[in-house]
Amino acid sequence: MRILLKSVLIQDSQSEFHNQRVDMLADAGRWIQIAPTIKEKADICIEQSGLSWVPSVVDVRVHHTLPGGEYREDWNSLASAAKKGGVLDMMLLPTGNPVPQQPEAIQLIQSKSSEFGIHFHPMAPVSIDNQGENFSDLFDLNRAGANWFSHGDGSLQSVDLMAKSLQYLQTLPVTLVSRPDTSGLSMYGQIHEGLQSTLLGLKGIPVLSETLSIQRDLDLLAYVLGNSFGHTHANFRLHFSCLSSSDSVDLIRQAKKKGLPVSADVAIHSLVYTEDAVSSFDTLKKVNPPFRSEKDLTALWKGISDGTIDAVVSDHCPHEQEAKELEFDHAAFGSIGLETLFLMWKKQAQARKIPNWDRLIAANPAALVGIQSEGVAVGQVVKGFVSQEVDSYVYQSTDIVGKSKNSAFIGETFNDRILHVMHGENILYSI
């Protein structure tokens, strides 16, 4: 099948055609011609005003609710949400119930990729049932295809277990993920420890809870590498997920300057809101880590600009309606985000004049996952989406295709929409 895109602005900073408005012709799932004007016939011709071609999104932090959480998100709704958001690769946290911790479970998740046309990359748990007590079968899980490991959606509290995890995994080409948190400091916390927590009478989560965990893990990493006797794999990495504070960005920046194998991401909602967003007790904006101060928000954007932060993630965390429609201190943490990661990131990045903004949701996370990512070019497999600039519209819960509607961005305005998501010969999503 031949597909022709007319007058499309390519927004792919890896491509020689970046920021050029061109025609694009695909045949049998590959680009066969990219030129200012193409007059050849095609089976499908897409021609509208304000079109852009964007590489598919790679999201390295998605809370997995399967099995056990089908009432929040099932495979069909997860795939539908991803396709609508242009996400064709996603890293799934080991947060199902039961936890996917056998080689067969890893392979089952991977097998869903061919069924839905989206590449699901399963993380494996470091410890059995994410309890932080006994190790899972790390080497068998890696042989089964798991290249990322984490302690559920959080951080190992046991110093001994974290040290041993680093010692075992540093010999493999894998990534160990930590969502930095010190439970003894964040316990029962609801929002950022600051002005709003005082005004609202809610227990705060201090920045120290995050930075203490990061510093501990960096010290452990330096210790393990210093005593590895040359056995550290060149592709081993410690990844810090969902940075939220200025001090956290500084710690990662210093670690990178020292040459430590670390990387970091930030959740898209943490780049938009501060603690003031919860002043009205809006439970849709109750997330963990919480929205912090204006100073922290500024530091996160600086970390993106100077390369300290490697990727922007959705931190997609679905919840049923009943889990959010409660008093604030009883409501669940988390926001969905697969459908809006591209929309909100482009809006915020362009407003702040971030160059090559597409890299933070495409090329950079692809490199972290180990996906070969090349700019759009003749001969390349078609993988990305057509977006269109439109008149501003307000994002509503009725726009959400996933099962759960708990988006922190309900009520926000966007002026882009994704029209067609394509992979190879397949058009996976169209409005």
3-state secondary structure of 91: strand
Average pLDDT over residues 380-387: 97
Burial of 242 per CB tally in 10 Å (0-12, 13-18, 19+): buried
Q: Where in the chain is the domain with CATH 2.30.40.10?
A: 2-53+379-430
Q: Where in the chain is the domain with CATH 3.20.20.140?
A: 55-369
Average pLDDT over residues 405-409: 98
Average pLDDT over residues 196-220: 98
Written as one letter, the residue type at 264 is A
Superfamily assignment of 2-53+379-430 in CATH? Urease, subunit C, domain 1 (2.30.40.10)
User: For the CA atoms of 110, 376, 355, 271, what is the dihedral angle to 10 degrees?
Assistant: -20
Instruction: State pLDDT tens for residues 61-119.
Output: 999 999 999 999 999 999 999 999 999 999 999 999 999 999 999 999 999 999 999 99
Instruction: State pLDDT tens for residues 13-35.
Output: 999 999 999 999 999 999 999 99
Average pLDDT of the chain, as a whole number = 97
Greatest CA separation for the chain: 66
Average pLDDT over residues 284-301: 98
Between 246-257 and 294-305, two packed helices, what is the crossing angle to 10 degrees?
30
3-state secondary structure of 72: coil
Rg (CA), the chain: 21
Q: What percent of the chain has pLDDT over 90?
A: 99
Average pLDDT over residues 128-143: 96
- In the prediction, which pLDDT does 374 show? 87
Q: Which residues contact 400 (CB under 8 A, 6 or more apart)?
A: 81, 336, 339, 407
Between 246-257 and 207-226, two packed helices, what is the crossing angle to 10 degrees?
10
- In the prediction, which pLDDT does 373 show? 84
Fold for the domain defined by 55-369: TIM Barrel (3.20.20)
pLDDT band at 175 (very low <50, low <70, confident <90, very high): very high
Which segment of 54-58, 119-123, 228-232, 340-344 scores lowest on mean pLDDT? 228-232
